[in-house]
Chains A and B, each alone.
Chain A
Amino acid sequence: MADIDTVKKVADLAALSIEENELEEYARDLDAIIGYMEQLSLIDTGNIAPMEHIVSVTNAFREDEVTNTDRREDLLKSAAVTKNNYYIVPNVVEQI
């Protein structure tokens, strides 16, 4: 059973703010989701090779070439705040 602390932690890691009175509901929902996924563990995978990726393609590479040009003006437009061609976000503290 997902407890309240787990919900708080997951929310914090995902940068979601959840009201105190919603925590229990989220815990129940999480439980239901995890329970649904649990069905996978019923399948016997003993003879199945581990899968690296959902598609069977490997080595999809691009050549090392510069193909993009400076599109600063266009791209900066999609930001809420910019200044002298920098993106601006609210002050952030140094983080590891």
Chain B
Amino acid sequence: MPYEIVIGLEIHAELNTKSKIFCGCKNEFGGEPNSNCCPVCLGMPGTLPVLNKEAVIYAIKAGLAMNCRISEVSKMDRKNYFYPDMPKAYQVSQYDIPLCYDGYVEIEADGQTKNIGIERIHLEEDAGKLMHDPNGQGTLIDYNRAGVPLIEIVTRPDIRSPKEARVLFENIKSILEYTGVCDCQMQEGSLRADVNLSVRPTGQETLGTRTEMKNLNSFRAVERACEAEAKRQIELLEKGLKVVQETRRWDDSKQESYPMREKEESLDYRFFPEPDLVPIVVDKTLIKNIKASIPELPGARKKRYINELEIPAYDANIITSDMKIADFFEEATKVCSNYKLVSNWLLTDLLRLVKEKGQDVMQKLTAQKFGELMVYYDKGEISQASAKKVLDIVSETGEEPGSLIERLELKVQRDENLVESIVKKVVQDNPKAVSDYKSGKTKAFGFLMGRVMAQLKGNGDPEQIKRLLTRELKSLME
């Protein structure tokens, strides 16, 4: 029986603020354990939280970038639970009135463009980190992350394939990066996703029983976890068994998920309005100002590159998925207007260098110099091999491409008289190759061309050499 997969994502993104959400502690990853803590984020009695304005602004910014409506009045609520990752025994979150609601994000997957609904984006605080002592001496807690501002983005169950889930997650990551809302360091956990997935026989209206999978911190993990879970659920149904509604943990290294232990008593968070924090009122001016601060988003940029710069869709997609790369591309095209050339070199050679040597090469190289180099190459003033050589050196030293080309004498030599005299000399000095050529061994032509190119220190114009060499050999055969 054919089945349809129905997926919704919950994405948690830590906000790029300098300080925590309710206190003046530093919001940073990787500090010494418990070094960024104070009585407020440790939940000491008698302390009072004060909401970080920037966290509210970032949340609204994310909402606007995802086409959400913004609640004029919203509030914070308490989510009560006992677990030592939150020292207060509750997490401050938003329950019935999220800051942002009813938006959408466009995705392109499996050859189709569609909008995935964003049900809500709410503001909350992150929890501390627990580590289980290998010697069984208890659980170790680091509260540096407790109170780090977070948004939770909840999508509608509009996703229909693992691929769509991945693309949506990628698109949301790009949007968060472009807007500066989140640094999206997934290996540090600042962006992570939970997947809600169910399957139903194709054509059936009602949704199947869903499971929730946690612990997904890479695009690939999201796609694989969706594939594996859909397969698992379909297999259960095919055997006439039922899917149990449960929370599962995905283990990406083993490529499988397992059910998480649940309390016998079903969880009841007993949400209530946070009495220590007053309502948030968002006026039109604030929304207008935040809207004005949102840069051109990846989707719009991609369309512009395809339609105006005639960059292939696939390439435009890669360039715009990372704002640093997109900005670099944009800068470079201000210098060299052969957009396709810049795009090709950027996607192959520059990304190779970034992969080999890290993001720093982009700072050393600069888009300006990269563009200048492309101009030299585009005009045919240097060969492809020389251009690659210059690129490698400039990305190490930051030297000006122009002076480097000068210094290393890399300019293509096109002086007709000079090249002609070299061709004549090479023909004279290599009688064996010439006679081979005359007897029909075409390989000899390549050998002679190579000799000429070597005389020109590799800076010859192959077309010109070919033309002059052909003419010279022809004259000998007459």
Contact = CB atoms under 8 A, between A and B. Distances in A.
B239 interface: no
A84 B38 CA distance: 18
B138 A91 contact: yes
Contacts of B52: 61-64
B280 A15 contact: no
Q: Interface extent on A, as a size class?
A: 35 or more
Interface in A37-96: 52-55, 57-68, 70-72, 75-76, 78, 81, 83-96
A94 B258 CA distance: 13
A13 interface: yes
Interface stretch (B76-84, B315-323, B429-437, B455-463): B76-84
B32 interface: yes
A93 B138 CA distance: 11
Given A64-B54, A68-B24, A75-B37, A91 B140 contact: no
B34 A85 contact: yes
A66 B280 contact: no
A24 interface: no
B387 interface: no
Contact of A64 (B17, B133, B249): B17
B295 interface: no
Given A53-B75, A63-B53, A66-B25, A83 B139 contact: no
B141 A61 contact: no
B319 to A, nearest CB: 32
A12 interface: yes
Nearest to A92: B139
Q: Interface extent on B, as a size class?
A: 35 or more
Name the prevailing secondary structure of the A interface residues. loop
A86 B53 contact: no
B446 interface: no
Contacts of B34: 72, 75-76, 85-87
Interface string B270-289: 10010101111100000000
B51 A62 contact: yes
B139 A75 contact: no
Q: Which of A53, A55, A90 has its CB near the most chain B CB atoms (within 10 A)?
A: A53
Name the prevailing secondary structure of the B interface residues. loop
Contact of B19 (A12, A15, A64): A64
Nearest to A15: B82
B9 to A, nearest CB: 17
Contacts of A15: 82, 89
Given A68-B24, A85-B32, A52 B73 contact: yes
B263 interface: yes
A73 B53 CA distance: 30
A87 B143 contact: yes
A88 B137 CA distance: 8
Given A53-B273, A59-B281, A64-B53, A89 B38 contact: no
B42 to A, nearest CB: 6
A91 B139 contact: yes
Contacts of A93: 261
Interface string B385-411: 000000000000000000000000000
Contacts of A96: 214, 247, 260, 262, 267
Contacts of B313: none
B237 interface: no
B56 A61 contact: yes
A12 B141 CA distance: 24
B354 interface: no
Contacts of A67: 19, 24
Given A15-B82, A75-B37, A75-B42, 16 more contacts: A53-B273, A53-B279, A59-B278, A61-B56, A62-B51, A64-B19, A64-B53, A65-B19, A68-B25, A70-B32, A70-B35, A85-B34, A86-B131, A87-B143, A88-B137, A95-B260
7 contacts: A52-B273, A61-B50, A63-B52, A64-B53, A84-B140, A85-B35, A96-B262
A-B CB proximity, top 4 nearest: A67-B24, A64-B54, A61-B53, A86-B140
